[in-house]
A and B are shown apart, each in its own frame.
Chain A
Amino acid sequence: MSLSTNTGSVGTPLLPPKGVSARVLGGIAEDATLSAPGVFLIILAFILPIGQMLLLSIEGASGGLTTEHFTRFLGDSYYLGIVWRTLRLSLLITVIAAVIGFPLAYVMAHVGPRLRLWLIILVILPLMTSVVVRTFGWMVLLGRGGLIPFTLWKLGLVNRNFTLMQTESAIVIGMVQVLLPFMTLSVLGVVMKIDRRLEEAARTMGASFTATLRTVVLPLAMPGIVAGSLLVFTLSVSSFITPSLLGGVRLPVVAGSIYEAATKTLEWNFAAAQSVILLVGVFLVLLPYLKLTGRRHG
């Protein structure tokens, strides 16, 4: 996207006609030089491994090509159940992150710059600690006798042995905490750019605070919410540490299943096939978004 805007500005009629070709060539060389490390890294760390993975996923036991790994996955209700759980939980996580993240970002955009800085630090701070450490914290809070089950028991809502560990709720709670910063910061970037006078105008015209939020701020913040949602969704379908620690082995998700196949039973081909399925799934979600934003930016 940024590349196209660059070349567009180079070709503007303001430049003297004689220098055009030289400028364009120079521009391409500069672009190529600047992007070389990134492109090199992408080829080395993304394109090559993905190609290798695609190959592995269709490689048979004796070396020939086969679709058996895909049929094994797609033809088994157990694995389809894992996919369904992964999608369902990821959607739930995304919705909850958006519901919490949007108001938070809105407030952050409206407070003074000093307080905003502190709020941003607060939001980013958890990212500085390892996911594993934070997840272990949740294990203590959610486990039998942990703060949350203990409080619920004291309130008379549950029995003494109640635990949230190894439940889907635990996965959702842990993942929302891990991914909330991505949502909040995505929305914040967009909300900050909304002209405050639009809201003031709406209020002057008699709209209530909630009506202003609903009809003015929310539609204008939509690009941020969509971008944040995509980030949260793709990160949550592909994460396995938090689900495996909080959900346990009895609530498998796709990424965890890939990890098991690759490291425990050493079925690399099957692991690769599952990864391809996950990748295609994520692409299918990204595609409408790319089309949408592509149209918007011309």
Chain B
Amino acid sequence: MSTIIATRRVVLSAGFGLTVALAALTASGATSPAAAREKLVINSYGGAYEQIHRKLVIEPFSKKYDVDVQVITAYSADALAQLRAQKAAPQFDVIHFSGGQEVVAAREGLIAPIKLNELSNGKDLYPFAVEGLSRGEGPVHAVAAIGLLYNKEKAKKPEKWADLWNAQYKDHVVLTDLSNSYGLLGFLMMNKVKGGDITNADPGFNAVKTLLDSAVVVATSPEMQQNFAQNDAWIAPYAQDYAYTLRKAGLPIEFVQGAEGTPAVYLTANLVANRPNQDLAKKFIDFSLSPEVQAGWAQELRYSPTNKATKLDETVAKEVIYGPDAVAGLIRFDPVAVDANRAALVERWKKLIAK
């Protein structure tokens, strides 16, 4: 596999060299062509996310600055792998991560540091959104919060994560497999609530074990929906944005921030190192942080803003993490530690839940 990719890259770069040589030949003597539009290469995550990304950020940005923005669909892990492979000649200008990969990328020198004063929106960002800048990471431009989804017509509103073990929800709890990143974050939070930490997951696993006899375990979002729609599910640790998806599907599902804290998926926009047009790339990142764009994300997908100046109407504001009090509850598990322990946690989980 790696050899195949390597050969393809050799062929590509050889082809590129040839093209450059040809271009040099044909262009020699002629006057330089009309200045081509500047171009940015970025990644997005595909699907509905990418559609909204184009509508809110990419298209308005390219119109405002009269530049081309090329989008390559690549999930976080894949995007990091591509950055590593292209280290000698990076092909992206702005790279978005959702799984904490920016920590690794910054450590490996794949992304370049941004100074807070280089971002016009920097001063309005919550501290958690810019704390990574000092480590060379990009700012957080959106947050998908993990909390408790519950059926408001059938169940009493839960208040804290520990309510999952409350007898009144018995037989109506849905847990998510750890192979799902929302499931992993939810589990880490349950583990934390029960007194564990990332290197000691015994409390979490022991606590989940007591739930297993009366809970359903799902692996994917559609299964979560099916359980709420059909299987009489009342409560489940999951993501705030998905609660909105369920409401749009007509289900009476609300999201609650557990009192013990709110773990979340932090979406970051990062500046790729060793690229020629970093100034434009910084403008793109800055654009992603603007109150208007962030209000759009909250409106469309219920991702929470990281910019204090973001104005949301009342309905939307209630359905995202909004305002200093709510933001204070956000928790971030160390992405490097999570990544290092992921495979072991997933295997232990599988062994625990297997009948």
Contact = CB atoms under 8 A, between A and B. Distances in A.
Whether chain B is bound by chain A comes out as: yes
Contacts of A260: 179, 346, 350
Contact of B354 (A140, A165, A250, A267): A250
A244 B223 CA distance: 11
A140 B230 CA distance: 8
B201 to A, nearest CB: 15
Contacts of B355: 250-251
Interface stretch (B30-38, B213-221, B243-251): B213-221
Interface string B100-128: 00000000000000000000000000000
Contact of B171 (A52, A81, A161): A161
A243 interface: no
Contact of B232 (A81, A161, A250): A161
A260 B100 CA distance: 21
A260 B179 CA distance: 8
B217 A248 contact: yes
A257 to B, nearest CB: 8
A249 B353 contact: yes
Interface stretch (A23-31, A142-150, A219-227): A142-150
Nearest to B183: A249
A265 interface: yes
Interface string B342-355: 11001100110111
Contact of A166 (B179, B216, B230, B342): B216
B77 A266 contact: yes
Interface string B325-355: 0000000000000000011001100110111
B21 to A, nearest CB: 34
A250 B353 contact: yes
B212 to A, nearest CB: 8
Given A161-B171, A260-B179, A265-B343, A78 B354 contact: yes
A269 to B, nearest CB: 12
Contacts of B232: 144-145, 161
Interface in B1-57: 1
Interface string A128-150: 00000000000110011110000
Contacts, number: 56
B226 interface: yes
Contacts of A244: 219
A169 to B, nearest CB: 13
Given A252-B350, A264-B346, A144 B230 contact: yes
A88 to B, nearest CB: 13
B231 interface: yes
A139 B350 contact: no
A143 B346 contact: no
B185 to A, nearest CB: 15
Contacts of A249: 177, 179, 217-219, 350, 353
A165 to B, nearest CB: 7
A163 interface: yes
B142 to A, nearest CB: 24
Interface string A217-258: 000000000000000000000000000100011111000000
Interface string B213-241: 00011110001001000111000000000
Interface string A89-129: 00000000000000000000000000000000000000000
A266 B218 CA distance: 20
Interface of B: 1, 77, 171, 177, 179, 216-219, 223, 226, 230-232, 342-343, 346-347, 350-351, 353-355
Q: 8 shortest A-B CB distances, which residue pairs?
A: A264-B179, A265-B343, A249-B177, A78-B351, A144-B231, A249-B219, A250-B353, A143-B230
Given A248-B219, A249-B218, A249-B353, 17 more contacts: A52-B1, A82-B354, A144-B231, A145-B230, A165-B231, A248-B217, A248-B223, A251-B354, A252-B354, A260-B179, A260-B346, A260-B350, A264-B346, A265-B342, A265-B346, A265-B347, A266-B343
Interface of A: 52, 78, 81-82, 139-140, 143-146, 161, 163, 165-166, 244, 248-252, 260, 264-267
7 contacts: A78-B350, A78-B351, A144-B230, A161-B171, A248-B217, A264-B179, A265-B343
